[in-house]
């Protein structure tokens, strides 16, 4: 937010112009992202989620449409309308909210959940980055979609995943673990070998 301008009839919010638009449109315009670009963007996404966690905020609606690309190829998280500030020591999150295709299983079938739901959703976003626009589970019928998320495993048999770097695929599968207790935290994700200095150098992700 740069400035707020008020007139007798309107309020204007002057914000940063992100000319590359939503991450989802950015993905589909390229068909799919190269691995080095997915690694670079995904590292930024997880860093943002880690920061939110430090502030005690669960976003609860993470998806590629809620990330925008700046002119310098950085990603920014938007749309906090269903986010919630909470204290994990004394409070539980209970509302079924967010976008179904990117919902973690525990949002759909548990009486309460925690910030790990954002880890699942960002994993589902990475899946979408790799596939070129398809989320791990897609079904127009909401009841069938819920059943798929709760009972089925994401398909990894397409050529995009077979050709994807094993370290990145390992992290993706861990983030899409159905049991939230076994799902890594944002900090654990950032410490994954996929983001190690040696691997980043081999991918040349900052030599674009």
Active-site residue set: 61
- What is the Cα–Cα distance from 65 to 62, expressed in whole angstroms? 8
* Beta carbons of 80 and 70 less than 8 angstroms apart: no
Tokens 């669960």 map to which residue? 58
Distances (CA, A) of 72 to 43, 52, 159: 15, 22, 30
Strands (E), 74-179: 75-77, 84-85
CB 149 within 8 A of CB 105: yes
Angstrom distance (rounded) from CA 26 to CA 167? 24
- DSSP of 75-102, one letter per residue? EEE---TT-EE--TTT--B----S-GGG
- Helix pair 166-175, 35-54: axis angle to 10 deg: 40
Taking each continuous run of H as one helix and of E as one strand, the counts in the chain are 9, 6
């Amino acid at each position: 937010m740069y400035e707020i301008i008020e007139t007798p009839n309107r309020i204007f919010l002057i914000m940063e112009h992100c000319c590359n638009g939503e991450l989802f449109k950015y993905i589909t315009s390229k068909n799919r992202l190269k691995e080095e670009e997915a690694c670079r963007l995904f590292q930024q996404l997880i860093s943002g989620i880690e920061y939110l966690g430090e502030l005690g905020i669960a976003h609860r609606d993470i998806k590629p449409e809620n990330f925008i690309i700046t002119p310098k190829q950085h990603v920014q998280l938007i749309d906090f309308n269903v986010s919630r500030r909470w204290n994990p020591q004394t409070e539980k999150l209970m509302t079924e909210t967010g976008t179904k295709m990117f919902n973690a299983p525990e949002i759909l079938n548990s009486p309460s959940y925690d910030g790990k739901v954002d880890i699942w959703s960002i994993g589902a976003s990475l899946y979408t980055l790799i596939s070129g626009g398809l989320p791990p589970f897609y079904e127009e019928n909401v009841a069938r979609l819920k059943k798929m998320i709760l009972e089925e495993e994401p398909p990894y048999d397409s050529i995009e995943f077979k050709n994807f770097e094993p370290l990145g695929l390992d992290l993706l599968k861990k983030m899409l673990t159905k049991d939230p207790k076994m799902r890594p935290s944002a900090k654990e994700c950032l410490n994954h070998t996929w983001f190690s200095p040696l691997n980043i150098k081999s991918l040349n992700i900052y030599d674009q």
